[in-house]
């Protein structure tokens, strides 16, 4: 596997959406995050690994606590930074798995997160594609309005604080 084949495989799984976050990482969601989707994998497109271990993680994904304990024993797989407490692993070498094993691991991560989706999100994903797109667009618009409202409230709060303390305080 490599970045492109991993990316193509993840996007072939049902209901997977790709976003770019955190300085260029490709984040894969089961269901759009606007409707309560859950992350199922993070791919670092800038990390390069031949047979040697990359200093950067190549792929990060969730697993079960039991499988997590097995995986971290494999050279080139480590507990994921910030996410290890919820059984995520980071893989630092492409050659730790054969292609079929990679696909099995990523399918399992996808299934794990699909099973944990809230009922409301599962209902949206069961709708026809056109209805899904409409609901997701509406939800994104609503979330953007909330963010704008929060930013405006924060700006007003900071302005009041500056007036109370006065200039140069």
- Predicted model pTM: 0.77
User: CA dist 148 to 93, 143, 145, 153, 157, Å?
Assistant: 41, 9, 5, 9, 14
Residue 90 has phi, psi (to 5 degrees) of -115, 130
pLDDT at residue 54 is higher than 80: no
Mean of pLDDT over the chain: 86
Residue 117 φ then ψ, to 5° = -65, 145
> Which pLDDT score, from 0 to 100, does residue 169 have?
53
Percent of the chain residues past pLDDT 70, beyond the cut: 88
Q: Domain 3-117 belongs to what topology?
A: 3.90.1150
Of the listed ranges 16-20, 102-106, 147-151, the least confidently predicted one is 147-151
According to the model, what pLDDT value does residue 104 have? 97
Sheet containing 88-91: order of strands: 16-21, 25-30, 38-43, 59-62, 88-91, 77-79
Instruction: Look at residue 166 in the predicted model and tell me its pLDDT.
Output: 61
Segment among 7-16, 128-137, 154-163 with least mean pLDDT: 154-163
Q: What's the mean pLDDT in 140-160?
A: 82
What pLDDT, on a 0 to 100 scale, did the predictor assign at position 46? 76
Buried b (16+ CB within 10 A) or exposed e, 91-100: bbbbebbeee
Q: Give whichever of 15-19, 127-131, 140-144 has the largest mean pLDDT.
A: 15-19
pLDDT of 51 > 70? The answer is no
53 and 140 Cβ atoms separated by less than 8 Å: no
Tell whether the model's pLDDT for residue 74 goes beyond 90.
yes
What CA–CA distance (Å, rounded) separates 71 from 9? Answer: 21
Place of tokens 């990523």: 106
Q: Are 121 and 74 in contact (CB under 8 A)?
A: no
Average pLDDT of the residues in 13-33: 90
Mean pLDDT computed over 27-40: 90
């Amino acid at each position: 596997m490599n970045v492109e084949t991993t990316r193509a495989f993840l996007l072939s799984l049902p209901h997977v959406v790709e976003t770019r976050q955190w300085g260029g990482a490709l984040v894969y969601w089961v269901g759009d995050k606007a409707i309560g989707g859950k992350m199922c994998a993070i791919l670092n497109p800038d990390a390069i690994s031949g047979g040697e271990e990359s200093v950067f993680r190549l792929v990060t994904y969730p697993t079960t606590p039991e499988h997590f304990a097995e995986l971290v024993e494999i050279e080139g797989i480590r507990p994921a930074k910030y996410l290890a407490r919820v059984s995520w692993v980071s893989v630092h070498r492409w050659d730790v798995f054969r292609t079929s094993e990679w696909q099995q691991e990523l399918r399992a991560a996808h299934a794990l997160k699909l099973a944990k989706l809230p009922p409301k999100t599962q209902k949206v994903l069961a709708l026809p594609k056109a209805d899904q797109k409409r609901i997701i667009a509406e939800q994104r618009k609503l979330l953007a309005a909330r963010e704008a409202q929060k930013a405006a409230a924060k700006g007003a709060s900071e302005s009041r604080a500056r007036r109370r303390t006065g200039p140069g305080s």
